[in-house]
A and B are shown apart, each in its own frame.
Chain A
Amino acid sequence: MRLKRALLGLLGVVLLGVAGFFYFTRHPALPAIQPASAASFDRAQVAKGAELALIGNCNSCHTSQDGPAYAGGRPLETPFGTIYATNITPDPDTGIGAWSEAAFRRALREGVRRDGAHLYPAFPYDHFTKVSDDDARGLYAFFMTREPIRAETPANTLPFPWSERPLIAGWKLVFFRPGELKPDPTLSAELNRGAYLVEGLAHCGACHTPRNRLGAERNERYLGGGDIEGWHAPALNANSPAPVAWTRDQLFTYLRNGFVAPHGVAAGPMQAVANNLGLVAEQDVKAIATYIGAMLAPATANRQKNTESLGSAAQVQAPPQTESASASTDGAILYAGACALCHEPTGQHFSAHGIPLRASKVIAMPDARNLAHVVLDGIDPPNASPAAMMPGFAAAFTDGQLTQLLAYLRRTFSDQPPWSQLEDKVREARQSTRGP
């Protein structure tokens, strides 16, 4: 009897708690405004916002393929279903034209829509919450002065219960820590600036940090490597798989130009980031490079060894000719016939910018998909490095041939163990290939 009463009491407390939780996590709708004229915004603020929007990589998600900039509609495939990026041009009906600066700032920093509904954390407000008032104002000025585009955002295709936005309140309670990033007085101004950009607007962790089953970044593995659009986003901390140590200057050049020797090219979803960072103030890219360089930590002994051996010509001059001559390995034949021409110093790599594959990031990665994507689709050169292109081999290689080639590259040009389920990874990459 007493137990029953205790249970009933407990149930009541829980119900009250749930009711209270939803009550207190409700957000009011903010009033719609008449869109202000573009001329009413301070031009310096707009210019500042333009750079910030590039650092935030806003165009990558909020622009559909071949669609007008920032008009949304791009599908983001998540493990929970497809979420469509919204129209953030100042169209009053389908965009954010009716949003006040307060509504914009609340969306950015708290993940709440103007009408009070919660936004899915596919919009990385867990990072944007760290953006300062001043920067939020610049971004608002930039977006409100874009050309308004009338473009309805397609409805998300999320199954129940993920379709229920009030549940996001619970997600936020557990995983979301709002608040600006305060500078650390023990660090240099540049490191603080880098931390502010990387952890905030640039939201590097959104791709480079692994996520848990509920889609939240696992902070204990910050920048420990994640997944994005069928690609692996490599670890940017001490677990970096990079076979060659990165210097700060190399990171800077890579982020700004999309290519740096000997590491190679920014491919896949990273290329848009480099294209954007090529257009912003140099000192901000330097700050990001400095911060990421610090996160990468001192190079491991093995990476240091590779770096030194790549520096000395003798080591680089050792193409795996003996294996290919014996013709016992099909992967070696494919390498010799298709890759060596540009990737061996004896070939024409000087004009083709082929990197020595010992230095290749993608061959050393824990996941074979990136290398499969690069071989199948090739590499479109980043804006600032037009020579860094590679033709795709999707029509030339069958899945079986590609699997053999990838296994050969892994075994020959990295110290890493063979990839598991290589055939599956090849098939997976093939499905999303653009074709010839």
Chain B
Amino acid sequence: MLNINGRAHAVTAEATTPLLYVLRDELGLNGAKYGCGLGQCGACTILLDNRPVLSCITPIAVTQGREITTLEGLGNPDNPGPVQKAFIAEQAAQCGFCIPGMIMRAEGLLRRNPSPSEKEIRSHMSANLCRCGTHMRILAAVRRAAKSARSARSGPPLTQDARR
């Protein structure tokens, strides 16, 4: 049983199966992307208990009883979440393949640290790769998301509980 975006899902995959495969192949949650499959590029980033995790090398066995958040949990095309909005506003995507992972990693940072310094943003985001080279726009999007969260400070996902 996996707890994803606040909903329980029964899955049939073996305990050793990487979470990414279950999300995409069994549950149709295609937000997380398969990039390298080796935990080196970050396209598969999701949140596990509010911390960014590489789902392609995380067996579902470790997620038992823990809270999984995927891109789909942040919002949808009609109602994007604050970090998604910031990425759209900064036009951070070129080919777009890395962007779901980038958004999830940024989300993980802002849940724990709503006012990150430039250095903290860069060091935190360095785990995710972008081959198009839109890094400057991605960084701008993370700064924008932090700023809008600071001015709004209300509503999901930046609740007091989630920020622990």
Query: Is there contact, CB below 8 Å, between A338 and B59?
Result: yes
In the complex where A327-B15, A337-B17, A436-B51 touch, is A396 in contact with B38 (Cβ < 8 A)? no
Distance, CA A327 to CA B60, complexed state (A): 13
B57 to chain A, nearest CB (A): 5
Q: Does B62 contact A (CB under 8 A)?
A: yes
In the complex where A333-B16, A337-B18, A342-B38 touch, is A396 in contact with B53 (Cβ < 8 A)? yes
A273 to chain B, nearest CB (A): 23
Distance, CA A117 to CA B35, complexed state (A): 58
Query: Is there contact, CB below 8 Å, between B52 and A395?
Result: yes
Q: Does B39 contact A (CB under 8 A)?
A: yes
Contact among A334, A341, A391, A436 with B62 in the assembled complex (CB-CB below 8 Å): A334
A257 to chain B, nearest CB (A): 19
Query: Could you say which residues of chain A place their CB within 8 Å of the CB of B98?
Result: none
Q: Does B110 contact A (CB under 8 A)?
A: no
B99 to chain A, nearest CB (A): 19
Contact among B38, B53, B61 with A337 in the assembled complex (CB-CB below 8 Å): B61
Q: Find the B residue at minimum CB distance from A391.
A: B39
Contact among B40, B58, B119 with A396 in the assembled complex (CB-CB below 8 Å): B58
Query: Is there contact, CB below 8 Å, between A395 and B38?
Result: no
B129 to chain A, nearest CB (A): 11
Q: Find the A residue at minimum CB distance from B63.
A: A396
In the complex where A327-B15, A436-B53 touch, is A389 in contact with B61 (Cβ < 8 A)? no
Query: Could you say which residues of chain A place their CB within 8 Å of the CB of B49?
Result: 395
Distance, CA A176 to CA B18, complexed state (A): 56
Query: Is there contact, CB below 8 Å, between A396 and B48?
Result: yes
Distance, CA A395 to CA B124, complexed state (A): 13
Q: Does A330 contact B (CB under 8 A)?
A: yes
Query: Is there contact, CB below 8 Å, between A391 and B127?
Result: yes
Q: Does A315 contact B (CB under 8 A)?
A: no
Query: Could you say which residues of chain A place their CB within 8 Å of the CB of B16?
Result: 324, 333, 336-337
Query: Is there contact, CB below 8 Å, between A351 and B38?
Result: yes
Binary per-residue interface labels of chain B (3-20) against chain A in the complex, 1 for a CB within 8 Å, 0 otherwise: 000000000001111100
Query: Is there contact, CB below 8 Å, between B15 and A333?
Result: yes
A27 to chain B, nearest CB (A): 42
Query: Is there contact, CB below 8 Å, between A436 and B108?
Result: yes
Query: Could you say which residues of chain B place their CB within 8 Å of the CB of A341?
Result: 37-38, 57
Distance, CA A337 to CA B16, complexed state (A): 4
Query: Is there contact, CB below 8 Å, between B57 and A395?
Result: no
Using A337-B57, A436-B52 as known contacts, list a sample of 20 further A-B pairs with CB atoms less than 8 Å apart, ordered by residue number in A.
A327-B14, A327-B15, A330-B61, A333-B16, A333-B59, A333-B61, A334-B59, A337-B16, A337-B58, A337-B62, A338-B58, A338-B59, A389-B40, A394-B51, A395-B48, A395-B51, A395-B52, A396-B58, A436-B51, A436-B124
Residues of B within 8 A of A (CB): 14-18, 37-40, 48-49, 51-54, 57-62, 108, 119, 124, 127
10 contacts between A and B (CB under 8 A): A333-B15, A333-B16, A336-B16, A337-B16, A337-B17, A337-B62, A338-B58, A338-B59, A395-B52, A396-B58
